[in-house]
């Protein structure tokens, strides 16, 4: 697998899914080692030069300390450079927040598509988010990655039955390995609400997509949680699109044509 070196020397692993067309870099969200966006990337690979990568602390990418969102922006800058020097971005969930932070920081980005960025918009969710961040720091500092995962799943609206099922599933050990990066995703979202002063610096066209309903494993979230978050993200040139599917990881056969039409528009 190819690698790039970020500004602080961290090695970042990436995959090039295709070579022809405008460059498109896919940015993964929470508990994703880069695999979650791959089906979407393969769907778009006949139209774009698609690159997907493993964010720091995931898979074969390094994890230099101390962590800072600015360092993740530098990682993405290195990947964009490897992709050809300029790129469109697609970001899923907290990866969407990171993509917007990168654009606000002035990276050479063209159009940006983000799916279900979990900004917090009502007072109860903002309070829950800030309590989660404090508790997450405590349990990760104690090395309790299992409790970190449980905290995350509860915040995301999972039931205790969902959590027990996940702990018994074969994927749990892989999630435990990724659990320390929950702190990184939390940092990308900051205090919770959309960061108006930074989003104001994003001048590129941005597509914000959400599903028609909450993911069945997120039933504890408020109704239209992601739609409200997308609507609250004030951007200079924003387009909204609601997909006729449910699920936080959207079906690439549904999401792909919408993203392609926007990026080529």
Task: Identify the sign of the CA torsion 166, 251, 48, 97.
Answer: negative
**What pLDDT does residue 217 have?**
87
Encode pLDDT of 114-140 as tens digits.
Answer: 999 999 999 999 999 999 999 999 999
Asked if the model's pLDDT at residue 247 lies above 90, the reply is no
Asked whether the bond before 66 is cis by omega within 30 degrees of 0, the reply is yes
**What pLDDT does residue 265 have?**
87
Determine how many CB atoms are found less than 10 A away from the CB of residue 141: 9
**What pLDDT does residue 214 have?**
84
Q: Which among 190, 181, 152 is positioned nearest to 32, based on CA atoms?
A: 181
Encode pLDDT of 33-46 as tens digits.
Answer: 999 999 999 999 99
Q: What is the DSSP string of 137-202?
A: HHHHHTT-HHHHHHHHHHHTT--HHHHHHHHHSTTHHHHHHHGGGHHHHHHHHTTSS--HHHHTT-
Encode pLDDT of 128-178 as tens digits.
Answer: 999 999 999 999 999 999 999 999 999 999 999 999 999 999 999 999 999
CATH 3.40.50.1820 segments of the chain: 3-121+193-263
Question: In degrees to the nearest 10, what's the CA dihedral of 6, 248, 265, 27?
Answer: 10
**What pLDDT does residue 166 have?**
97
Encode pLDDT of 178-229 as tens digits.
Answer: 999 999 999 999 999 999 999 999 999 999 999 998 888 898 999 999 999 9
Encode pLDDT of 82-106 as tens digits.
Answer: 999 999 999 999 999 999 999 999 9
Q: What's the burial of 242, exposed, middle or buried (CB within 10 Å: 0-12/13-18/19+)?
A: middle
Encode pLDDT of 25-77 as tens digits.
Answer: 999 999 999 999 999 999 999 999 999 999 999 999 999 999 999 999 999 99
State the average pLDDT for the chain: 97
CATH code for the domain defined by 3-121+193-263: 3.40.50.1820
């Amino acid at each position: 697998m190819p690698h790039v070196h970020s500004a602080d020397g961290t090695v970042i692993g990436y995959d090039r899914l295709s070579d022809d067309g405008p460059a498109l870099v896919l940015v993964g969200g929470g508990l994703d080692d880069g695999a979650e966006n791959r089906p979407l990337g393969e769907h778009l690979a006949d139209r774009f030069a698609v690159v997907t990568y493993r964010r720091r602390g995931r898979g074969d990418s390094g994890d230099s300390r101390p962590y800072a969102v600015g360092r993740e922006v530098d990682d993405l800058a290195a990947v964009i450079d490897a992709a050809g020097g300029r790129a469109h971005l697609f970001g899923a969930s907290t990866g969407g927040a990171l993509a917007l932070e990168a654009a606000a920081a002035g990276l050479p980005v063209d159009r940006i598509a983000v799916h279900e960025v979990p900004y917090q918009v009502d007072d109860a969710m903002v309070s829950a988010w800030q309590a989660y961040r404090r508790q997450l720091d405590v349990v990760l500092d104690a090395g309790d990655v299992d409790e970190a995962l449980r905290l995350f799943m509860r915040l995301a609206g999972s039931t205790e039955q969902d959590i027990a099922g996940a702990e018994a599933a074969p994927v749990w050990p892989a999630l435990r390995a990724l659990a320390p990066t929950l702190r990184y995703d939390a940092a990308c979202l900051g205090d919770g609400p959309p960061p108006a002063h930074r989003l104001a610096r994003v001048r590129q066209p941005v597509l914000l997509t959400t599903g028609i309903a909450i993911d069945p494993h997120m039933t504890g979230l408020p109704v239209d949680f992601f739609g409200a978050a997308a609507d609250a993200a004030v951007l200079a040139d924003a387009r909204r699109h609601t997909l006729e599917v449910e699920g936080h990881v959207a079906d690439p056969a549904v999401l792909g044509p919408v993203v392609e039409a926007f990026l080529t528009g």
